Structure 1
């Protein structure tokens, strides 16, 4: 067997080293293998392109076995050092988060996954190149155009419809472990104007949650035909349930799927000693990442409409409850968008809690911002490609990786996939302090 060409050694070494750079969160062998395989394939493409257009191609593609052996040896050393450092970093993160160290089969699993992924990607790219050469430029361009048109008019609509159906099915699914409340202070009870099935999966969990001292009002997508009707129904539910008779009222902005963190609800109950009403309004069935990319305006419009309706209902009321606002993740971004600026927020709300706000960008007047330093949602933005993130106000919960241009963006983007796979208090998971940290008027 001949020693690999210098370009191959460089592509493999650089791809592996970059993929093993320190990230924010512990990573499974599958996730690490996938990232490594993708980056090695990308480096193959980069090295191939450079070889064709520059004089470096003579070095990357040619040379005797001695030169190739030196490059391959340096690559092996670089990979070995990177694996050792990655092992130490992974265990440091896991120790800080109360998770077990990586197991014996972790690195073999990473290697197998990386080889399979890189092989599939490189093989597919070479197959496309072979077809292109066989067809010629004109027919190749024609086939590419047909493929793009087919994807636009057939594949994309089909996938979109399938995902909508999947989200709707998940929203409608009835969990036998979630019991319909009997208290009149909860939406979905027998005396509520909001039917139990219409609450959606996340709404049912919210209103059925303990403790049972607080008023919990929730209106699902199926509870009324349009956004305005859902807002009106929420206000009527607050009146019916006695929510306006409590001393404190918290407008809760859910995440994309309608989820309200049970730990936040329990924390708010503790913070106000049960003398509180929580009201939330579902605006989407899709998960937060999909809603953030394609439906963020719906989240913002829903939060503004509900908060404005609460303000109108309480206007002129003598013994009205104090009004607060809470949101996590997309809910934090949408909740902050209720206000035009810091002064507007300070004037219109008693206090607010924003947990895990995307890119750490929210209005901070009269607000408590909870942001774990290991939360990739708080750090991620396109600007991470060329400058370090602003970690002002974050609480350090784990070792922090050193930011590097481009590499920091890649690692943080990958960490988004595992942001919820860690214990509360780390990553994009927060505890009851989401409620207990609420400020005072």
Structure 2
């Protein structure tokens, strides 16, 4: 009985040994924290609050700050280790005394408070400039929370990765000298990491993304219905079915101004605009789809129109409505527009992983349509223009190896929001006239090509503008144009020169940090009003009017047209 009672009685468990071990582990972990790493992380944290191209809300500011601090920590810790290694491989270096840690803590607290003040000043300035809502006080606690979470997460990932390297080096030390095993161990872990990210994570992620966006591509808006006219793809007599067009293709052929709207605007009987489109539902062979799109254009009577507009879409088939609608109003419907889909992915994803398909699709579509037009007698050929926005501008350039080739093979071109990958845009910018800035270059004295940020730049420079005319519409604050991996270690020309009209003068380049800032700007590039970031609308009709100079069209008509235009 006593034994049973003794078994049931509370045991005398002393928690102190467990607490002591926990304290020892915590002290040991803190002892491994790099003082130099934290010092540089603090500086990078402050740098991350400086302004970039667009307003940053608390979520993206927190991500940028946490990531910048993590990068700073890694750099500080690495260079501190490198200095110690170069001075002595055997010497045991003492930890910084407590008062240095205390000083760093005070500097961090004071400096971060100052950082928040200047962050508020800069955000107020850029938000006023772009006419977006100001930040509320709740943004600042959220920035702190997100920054800490991102910093800790990246640090844990980095430490786990470093632990794998150390483990592999120790294993290899049994078979090779320390220096060889160190290099080999690090190389093995790097290769395994790359294989996992590229071969496993990226592969399965892309399959999942394609499946998800393919399902979205099959959806049809409730307000969109199949056309009942023969001049639209998916309608009666069309070579492609309504269901094959994809969501964006169905929007494209079902929308736009009708004959009544065009007639009322222009005060004269209008023609019904032709819109030809081929989606991925017709197959995955880009060249075959381009041929089908050209055949569909011919079937609908597109070669009999005054203008044939060849549009390079973004990945999912999206086209800026304002770009197409403007042409149809200017020519009172006497226009045929043709385009095709080449991906299920939205523009930003296609930009990162599918840009080669954009190039192939743009080139194939232009060549297929141009081949049909060249078969006509020269006097019967319509005007041919090309256009594209964002990744679409990259695809629209693809059929032309040089800027003079665009001039030679078309009657005009409008490239909106070019990406940093656009080859012709990069070539023309690099060959700009001396004294003209990178954000708004003057190329070949503006003879055929003009770079503009708004309609007022169409007259820049004040020299004759010869036909055919090409316009690059770009904003100084558009991160899609100015992002580049080179931002990590190289200061771009557009930050060395006088900043663009909607970029704060306080924006300065800092290694790693500016790259993170502009990367975050890309994610919110369309969340700003027209005229800023990657949001293009009001300059489009002015550009088309100057490129094509439609008969009877006036600036007054352009101003009346503006309220009727929308991007989506």
- Both structures adopt the same fold (TM-score exceeding 0.5): yes
- Partner residue, 1:341: 402
- Partner residue, 1:411: 517
- Partner residue, 1:126: 159
Which SS does the other structure have where 2:311 is aligned?
strand
Which SS does the other structure have where 2:309 is aligned?
strand
- Partner residue, 1:77: 110
Match of 1:35 among 64, 68, 73: 64
- Partner residue, 2:211: 165
Note closer, same or farther for the CA distance 1:261–1:395 as it changes in structure 2 (3 Å cut): farther
- Partner residue, 1:50: 79
- Partner residue, 1:248: 307
User: Is 1:210 the equivalent of 2:256?
Assistant: yes
Which SS does the other structure have where 2:407 is aligned?
helix
Asked if the contact 2:64/2:517 (under 8 Å) is kept, the reply is no
Note closer, same or farther for the CA distance 1:55–1:227 as it changes in structure 2 (3 Å cut): closer
- Partner residue, 2:383: 322
- Partner residue, 1:440: 548
Task: Name the larger-Rg structure.
Answer: 2
Instruction: Give the superposition deviation at 1:432.
Output: 4.7
Note closer, same or farther for the CA distance 1:152–1:96 as it changes in structure 2 (3 Å cut): closer
Deviations 1:129-148 (A, max 9, x none): 55666786227959947776
Instruction: Give the superposition deviation at 1:167.
Output: 2.6
Q: Can you give the 5+ residue segments of structure 1 that lack an aligned partner in the other structure?
A: none
Match of 2:393 among 302, 325, 332: 332
Instruction: Give the superposition deviation at 1:431.
Output: 0.6
User: Is 1:284 the equivalent of 2:343?
Assistant: yes
User: Is 1:352 the equivalent of 2:413?
Assistant: yes
Instruction: Give the superposition deviation at 1:410.
Output: 3.0
Which SS does the other structure have where 2:526 is aligned?
coil
Asked if the contact 1:325/1:352 (under 8 Å) is kept, the reply is yes
- Partner residue, 2:239: 193
Paired residues, what number?
439
- Partner residue, 2:492: 388
CA distance in 2, matches of 1:25, 1:128: 34
Instruction: Give the superposition deviation at 1:55.
Output: 5.2
- Partner residue, 1:228: 287
- Partner residue, 2:3: none
Asked if the contact 1:267/1:436 (under 8 Å) is kept, the reply is no
Which SS does the other structure have where 1:358 is aligned?
coil
CA distance in 2, matches of 1:175, 1:433: 28
Instruction: Give the superposition deviation at 1:350.
Output: 0.9
Instruction: Give the superposition deviation at 1:225.
Output: 5.8
CA distance in 1, matches of 2:41, 2:282: 55
Instruction: Give the superposition deviation at 1:300.
Output: 2.0
Which SS does the other structure have where 2:296 is aligned?
helix
- Partner residue, 2:526: 420
- Partner residue, 1:402: 507
Note closer, same or farther for the CA distance 1:395–1:331 as it changes in structure 2 (3 Å cut): farther
Instruction: Give the superposition deviation at 1:72.
Output: 2.9
Deviations 1:223-249 (A, max 9, x none): 246333322322222223232222111
- Partner residue, 1:63: 97
Instruction: Give the superposition deviation at 1:181.
Output: 2.3
- Partner residue, 1:263: 322
Q: How does 1:107-118 map to 2 (within 5 A)?
A: 107-118=140-151
Instruction: Give the superposition deviation at 1:368.
Output: 0.9
User: Is 1:379 the equivalent of 2:482?
Assistant: yes
CA distance in 2, matches of 1:253, 1:324: 11
Asked if the contact 2:58/2:142 (under 8 Å) is kept, the reply is yes
Asked if the contact 2:37/2:74 (under 8 Å) is kept, the reply is no
TM-score, reference length from structure 2: 0.70
Which SS does the other structure have where 1:437 is aligned?
helix
Asked if the contact 2:64/2:516 (under 8 Å) is kept, the reply is no
Q: Can you give the 5+ residue segments of structure 2 that lack an aligned partner in the other structure?
A: 1-26, 174-184, 260-272, 429-447, 450-468, 550-568
Note closer, same or farther for the CA distance 1:59–1:40 as it changes in structure 2 (3 Å cut): farther
Instruction: Give the superposition deviation at 1:116.
Output: 1.3
Structure scoring higher RCO (CA < 8 A, sep ≥ 6) equals 1
CA distance in 2, matches of 1:271, 1:219: 25
Which SS does the other structure have where 1:7 is aligned?
helix
